[in-house]
Amino acid sequence: MWLLAADTTVVDRRIRMLLAHVSDLHLGRDRRTDDAARRLAAALHEGRVATALVTGDVTHRGRLDELARFEEIFRPLLDAGRLIVVPGNHDRLGDDVAGRLMSGARVDVASRPGLHAVRLDSTGPHNRSLVDSHGLLTEDDLAEAVAALDRAPAGALRVLLLHHHLHPLPEDLLAERLATLLGWPSAGELPLGAALLERLRGRCDLVLHGHRHAPSQLVLDRDGPRPLRVLNAGSTTELGRMRLLGARAGAVVLDRWVAIDGAAAAALDRRLRADRAAA
Ligand SMILES: [Fe+2]
Ligand SMILES: [Fe+2]
């Protein structure tokens, strides 16, 4: 069931671009996870989501066969350029498939009409070990991400995608709590995260991340001319829901959680189209 409020019609008329934020798919973990990924692909397709933004841990053990399953399930969306992906620490395990999810530089730009998405690979070589799950953000990464955001065309929604979190968040697991108590870095936020957040204020609309499997959000400058939403999708395949973001003229005008259900997605698409036609 899509979670739509009674006032949705009024909001939907302003939407020109429908995005989905999904994360931590962990393909290959078990049958239930892979089935959820298939439902997700159907929902993205049936709901005519323009672009899905995938913030890492696509695979569970970083194996090539898990990556192949991801590519098989999402093939039509990948071929149509409707997925923008960054790797997570789990993608560095096993066969290390992170480079296949994002090759080349640690920071690059994926542009779509009305969307300026800066991808930042926040993984590091230490992520080859499961217990060293924390991210990597260098001063160079930070400077390049800021410069890439500043190249956004006028009127585009400015989004930064990365896997790891920029600000402190509660630990998901007992092992993470123990790590923090022992002073280990594995469960902490990116050490330069606060510095990056400060640089993003006024020049970025959305920071999308995952890593923590429980969703969260932080909104900075809520009443200012350019609010900065820092959103954690959590694990989409565990939660069975994803975050839909509707945008127009570089601003977010809809922010809703919806269940991953293909038939319901098609119903929402019909409703959105009817609303636009009536506007
Ligand atoms: Fe994860
Ligand atoms: Fe992760």
Q: Does residue 115 fall inside a structural domain?
A: yes
Measured in angstroms, how far is the CA atom of residue 118 from the centroid of ligand 1?
21
Q: Does residue 129 fall inside a structural domain?
A: yes
Measured in angstroms, how far is the CA atom of residue 101 from the centroid of ligand 1?
15
Q: Does residue 26 fall inside a structural domain?
A: yes
Domain encompassing residue 190: 8-274
Largest CA distance in the chain: 59
| N residues, the chain | 279
Query: What is d(CA 21, CA 25) in angstroms, rounded to the nearest whole number?
Result: 12
Query: What is d(CA 159, CA 118) in angstroms, rounded to the nearest whole number?
Result: 6
Q: Does residue 150 fall inside a structural domain?
A: yes
Q: How many domains does the chain have?
A: 1
pLDDT digits (tens, 9 = 90+) for 82-135: 999 999 999 999 999 999 999 999 999 999 999 999 999 999 999 999 889 999
pLDDT digits (tens, 9 = 90+) for 185-237: 777 899 999 999 999 999 999 999 999 999 999 999 999 999 999 999 999 99
b/e burial code for range 52-87 (CB count within 10 A of at least 16 → b): bbbbbbbbbbbbeebbebbeebbeebeeeebbbbbb
Q: Which ligand is nearest to the CA of 123?
A: 2
pLDDT (mean) for 168-181:
78
Q: Does residue 2 fall inside a structural domain?
A: no
Measured in angstroms, how far is the CA atom of residue 94 from the centroid of ligand 2?
14
Q: What is the pLDDT of residue 10?
A: 42
Measured in angstroms, how far is the CA atom of residue 90 from the centroid of ligand 2?
6
User: Does the structure show a pLDDT above 70 at 64?
Assistant: yes
Measured in angstroms, how far is the CA atom of residue 164 from the centroid of ligand 1?
10
Q: Which ligand is nearest to the CA of 88?
A: 2
Q: Does residue 3 fall inside a structural domain?
A: no
Q: Which ligand is nearest to the CA of 165?
A: 2
Measured in angstroms, how far is the CA atom of residue 267 from the centroid of ligand 1?
30
Q: Which ligand is nearest to the CA of 130?
A: 2
Q: Does residue 279 fall inside a structural domain?
A: no
Measured in angstroms, how far is the CA atom of residue 25 from the centroid of ligand 1?
7
Write the CATH number for 64. 3.60.21.10
Q: What is the pLDDT of residue 13?
A: 64
Measured in angstroms, how far is the CA atom of residue 149 from the centroid of ligand 2?
24
Query: What is d(CA 265, CA 44) in angstroms, rounded to the nearest whole number?
Result: 7
Q: Does residue 1 fall inside a structural domain?
A: no
Residues with CB under 5 A from ligand 1 (ion): 24, 57
Given a contact cutoff of 8 angstroms between Cβ atoms, the answer to whether 273 and 15 are in contact is: no
